[in-house]
Amino acid sequence: MNVKEIFETMEYGPAPEAAAPGLAWIQERTPFNLFINNQWVKPASGQYIDSINPATGKRLAQVAAATSADVDAAVAAARVAFETWGKTPGHIRTRYIYAIARHIQKHARLLAVLESLDNGKPIRETRDIDIPLVARHFYYHAGWAQLMESELPGYQPVGVVGQIIPWNFPLLMLAWKIAPALAMGNTVVLKPARYTSLTALKFAEIVQEIGLPPGVVNILTGEASQVGEALVGHPGINKIAFTGSTDVGRSIRRATAGSGKKLSLELGGKSPFIVFDDADLDSVVEGVVDAIWFNQGQVCCAGSRLLVQENIADRLIEKLRERMEHLRIGDPLDKAVDIGAIVSPGQLKEIQRLVNTGVEEGAVMWQPSWACPTEGYFFPPTLFTNVSPATTIAQVEIFGPVLVSMTFRTPAEAVELANNTRYGLAASVWSENINLALDVAPKLKAGTVWINCTNLFDATSGFGGYRESGFGREGGKEGLYEYVRPKWETLEAPAKEFHIAEESTSTNGSRPAVSADEDREFEGGEQLLDGYTPMFPAIDRTPKMFIGGKQTRPDSGYSRDVYDPQGQVIGQVGEGNRKDIRNAVEAAHAAGGWAAGTTHNRARSYADAAAEVQAAISRLFSYAAWADKYEGAVHRPPLRGVALAIPEAIGVIGMACPEEHPLLGFVSLVAPAIAMGNTIVVIPSQVAPLSATDCYQVLETSDLPAGVVNIVTGDRDLLSQVLAEHDDVDAMWYFGPAEGCKRVELASAGNMKRTWVSYGHPRDWMDTVQGEGEEFLREATQVKNIWVPYGE
């Protein structure tokens, strides 16, 4: 090709990055051993597994296959290390973490080459995105180690953390896990993904180089069934941090239920990319390329559903196809390549299977005219049109370079389509009308919303999901709370379960006769004549349930007795059942507009209620105060723009109140939840529900809209189970015995709702640190980050 021809075709020539330094580094070390206590240790099994270069399909290295014996050794090392690392002053931890960041930069090119060789992603991405973000994450968290004492004063580290990461951003996911963990004083045992261990092993060398104390970071390579499961089940671990598929996340939720292990899950997604008709279409096209062809579409937050306003759909699709013709696929180490290799043959097969399904389902498939390399695992960029929203390819995460497109007419329809998924990880909104974009962003159920941009990440801004995309955040101050627990919380054996008295259910709705009891003071009882105490029967109290703003009779038609501390019956409450819970959830769901109202309104209804509830008056005022003061943050990532971190209501929260302090416990949970805009279904104290049901009048006369607070009395554990299983309930709080906590966590795995349970540990509800404050507000909210770049 002569210069003139090159000028005319604008074809790139190859610009390969040298593989030699990476290959030499591997050759000197393979087979790789395990990294435990700052030493390279042979796996107990003596077994090694192959790591493949997906661009060639050939073996790159051998890494150790750890088994549970190695997990035991690594956890033991981490436990010992925690004894000192957890008490090491923040400033000293800062210096270590800072040194890690510096060393990442010193080895940046080797890390980028290793990552491209091992994972198949283009060097342009590993060199310009993955590795710089890794260094940034350590720098940022070095700062938080320095500031922990002043900025998180009431908190201590969690302990030993088991961390499990996927193969799509191997070193970046390691950084997201290890940086905040070390900053907050935890020690870790990390398992890289089966296909991509090499950069984690290079990271281990950096740990040695900078002289991090032994046992603070341990890295175990191997199979999920051997290492992953052993970590999840290990009693020496205080928290599991997992990034991966929703299915595995669900199994980890179940496996850790009731163990008291803290858990954060970053799972899958099917994120919408919404284009309004006034968007800048050339920018949109580049945005789509980044959204779905970045990292071959193997990105949890990939904009994999293109939602286009109908009147511009044809024009955009045409431009997109034209752009796809010019995408370059091939050798990941070629600096001019846009699309590299798919990580494994299994993943490639799965993408092919889902694409076939799309065709069978009647969608129109389009691929560029050029062919993929025949060696290695490649898949061409693929665009589906004529997709209907309920089909497999519109709902299932494909995790490959496959985009499905659909159209909408109005903004409301766009929001509805966008939220028509069980996931909620991210979304992009494209419009030149900032009013429209900022109106749509809060309506999208997603942890991150990018306006006129996509796939931007920074350590300042928390990343994580809503709904089945998991819970917890990585990055930002919000991410730190995943790695700490309140200082007052001890890790002693669970407290003795609070005793719930044996009770009988009277089936005729009437109260059993009150027996005379010398110790008992009757209402209005008074010494009258010598030795004669007349018995004034207590006033009959038979509160109904409180659902949708109305007092309703229990569906069962049964009541249950309520006893005083001496065991005397003092009234009855309705015996709630499944149907009552369903009705209550429906009412709470329908009252969803509560979150959209102004925070000022929420503050005012509170103050009204507070005036009438004497016992918990101060707490109600606290949350009335917080309702318009629990604000988010404006993050300043390194771009021209801001990320608005907004704490949003979670939705419908189910809650089982503590038995101790029936009124204060009730108020302590209900108040922060509704102050933050949630609607709730609450099960009052089972033994002493009357103080809660006495609030009906308060609720009725306050300005709270019907359905915001719903109260169902009855068997705590039975009703909790129904709530925890319910798909329209977005979070479940349970303060009760350990056994009940376990059942709630197990049942929550259905729709991966967030749970907050006490594991049977005591909490001093009278204490203002334990019984109220930011911990409650955090549990009642989830942070959404809205990225808003500036400039023309």
Taking the C-alpha atoms of residue 661 and residue 686, their distance in angstroms, rounded to an integer, is 11
Q: What radius of gyration do the chain's Cα atoms show?
A: 29
- Partner touching 118 among ligand NAD, Mn ion, none, CB below 5 to 8 Å by kind: Mn ion
400 binds, among ligand NAD, Mn ion, none (CB under 5 to 8 A by kind): none
Q: What's the min distance (Å) between Cβ of 789 and Mn ion?
A: 34
What's the burial of 403, exposed, middle or buried (CB within 10 Å: 0-12/13-18/19+)?
A: buried
Q: Which residue is nearest to Mn ion (CB)?
A: 118
Provide, rounded to whole angstroms, the least separation between the CB of residue 380 and Mn ion. 21
Nearest to 308 by CA among 344, 272, 332: 272
Q: How far is the CB of 232 from ligand NAD (least distance, A)?
A: 5
Q: Are 317 and 383 in contact (CB under 8 A)?
A: yes
The one of ligand NAD, Mn ion, none whose footprint includes residue 755, by CB under 5 to 8 A per kind, is none
19/752 with CB nearer Mn ion: 19
Whole-number minimum distance, CB 170 to Mn ion, in Å? 9
- CB neighbours of 148 closer than 8 A, spacing ≥ 6? 90, 155, 183, 184, 185, 480
C-beta of 195: minimal distance to ligand NAD in Å?
Answer: 8
User: How many of the other CB atoms lie within 10 Å of CB of 704?
Assistant: 21
Q: Residue 189, Cβ neighbours under 10 Å: how many? A: 32
Angle subtended at Cα 227 by Cα 225 and Cα 229, rounded to the nearest 5 degrees: 55
| Residue number, 368 or 424, with CB nearest to ligand NAD | 424
Give me the residue label for tokens 């109290």. 541
Q: Which residue number, 446 or 587, has a Cβ lying nearer to ligand NAD? A: 446
Q: How far is the C-alpha of 339 from the C-alpha of 381, rounded, in Å?
A: 8
The entry of ligand NAD, Mn ion, none that residue 736 binds, CB within 5 to 8 Å by partner kind: none
Is 372 catalytic? The answer is no
Smallest distance from Mn ion to CB 55, Å: 10
Residue 337's binding partner among Mn ion, ligand NAD, none (Cβ under 5 to 8 angstroms by kind) is none
From the list Mn ion, ligand NAD, none, which binds 268 (C-beta under 5 to 8 Å, kind-based)?
A: ligand NAD
Is the CB of residue 344 less than 8 Å from the CB of residue 352?
no
| Partner in contact with 478, chosen from ligand NAD, Mn ion, none, beta carbon below 5 to 8 Å by kind | none
Q: Which is nearer to Mn ion, 155 or 195 (CB)?
A: 195
Number of DSSP helices (H) and strands (E) in the chain, helices first = 28, 31
Considering the complex, state which of residue 131 and residue 667 has its C-beta at the smaller distance from ligand NAD.
Answer: 131
The contact set with Mn ion (CB under 5 A) reads 51-52, 118, 195
Cβ atoms of 40 and 198 within 8 Å: the answer is: no
Contacted by 441, from ligand NAD, Mn ion, none: CB < 5 to 8 Å by type: none
**What are the Cα distances from residue 250, in Å, to 39, 229, 294, 721?**
33, 13, 27, 17
Which of 266, 575, 648, 725 is labelled catalytic?
266
Which residue lies nearer to ligand NAD by CB, 185 or 192?
192
- CB-count exposure of residue 232 (10 Å: 0-12, 13-18, 19+): buried
Q: Nearer to Mn ion by C-beta: 51 or 304?
A: 51
Contact criterion met (CB below 8 Å) for 544 and 551: yes
Closer to ligand NAD by CB, 174 or 383: give it.
174
CA distance 445 to 422: 10
Taking the complex as a whole, how short is the minimal distance between the CB of residue 595 and ligand NAD, in angstroms?
24
Least distance (Å) from ligand NAD to the CB of residue 442?
Answer: 21
Order the strands of the 262-266 sheet from edge to edge.
39-41, 34-36, 217-219, 187-191, 160-164, 239-243, 262-266, 470-471
Other Cβ atoms within 10 Å of 2 Cβ, number: 7
Distance CA 263, CA 245 (A): 15
Q: Give which of ligand NAD, Mn ion, none residue 243 binds (C-beta under 5 to 8 Å, depending on kind).
A: ligand NAD
Residue 267: helix, strand or coil by DSSP? coil
Identify the bridge partners of residue 275 per DSSP, sorted by sequence position: 308, 430
| Residue 230: CB minimum distance to ligand NAD, A | 8
From Mn ion, ligand NAD, none, which one binds at residue 483 (CB under 5 to 8 Å depending on kind)?
Answer: none
- Taking the complex as a whole, the smallest distance from the CB of residue 52 to Mn ion amounts, in Å, to 5
Please choose, from the candidates 722, 771, 774, 772, the residue with its C-alpha nearest in 3D space to the C-alpha of residue 744.
722
- Asked whether the beta carbons of 271 and 427 are under 8 A apart, the reply is yes
DSSP state of 329: B
Pairing of strands 550-552, 160-164: unpaired
Nearer to Mn ion, 54 or 269 (CB): 54
Spatial distance between the Cα atoms of 170 and 192, rounded to a whole number of angstroms: 7
- Give which of ligand NAD, Mn ion, none residue 232 binds (C-beta under 5 to 8 Å, depending on kind): ligand NAD
With respect to ligand NAD, which residue has the nearer C-beta, 259 or 691? 259
Judged by CB, which is closer to Mn ion: 114, or 708?
114
Q: 641: part of which helix (H) or strand (E)?
A: strand 641-649
Min dist CB 364 to ligand NAD, Å, is 26
d(CA 174, CA 168): 11
CB of 423 to Mn ion, least distance (A): 27
Interface residue list for ligand NAD (CB under 6 A): 164-168, 191, 193-194, 224, 228-229, 232, 243-245, 248, 251-252, 266-269, 300, 397, 399, 425, 465
Q: Which of the following is catalytic: 17, 115, 125, 300?
A: 300
Binding partner of residue 468 among Mn ion, ligand NAD, none, CB cut-off 5 to 8 Å per kind: none
Query: Could you tell me the two tokens for 270?
Result: 């099917």
On the CB side of 602, CA atoms within 13 Å amount to 28
Query: Nearer Cβ to ligand NAD, position 60 or 712?
Result: 60
For 710-721, the DSSP string reads: EE--S-HHHHHH
Residue 19 beta carbon to ligand NAD: minimum distance, rounded to whole angstroms: 24
DSSP-derived secondary structure for 2-16: -HHHHHHH-PPPP-B
Q: Are 425 and 448 spatial neighbours (Cβ–Cβ below 8 Å)? A: yes
Look up residue 463 and give its DSSP letter.
B
708 exposure class (CB count in 10 Å sphere: 0-12, 13-18, 19+): buried
Active site residue 266: yes
Q: Toward ligand NAD, which CB reaches closer, 252 or 538?
A: 252
Q: Which of ligand NAD, Mn ion, none binds 267 (CB below 5-8 Å, type-dependent)?
A: ligand NAD
In the complex, residue closest to ligand NAD by CB: 228
Catalytic residues: 266, 300
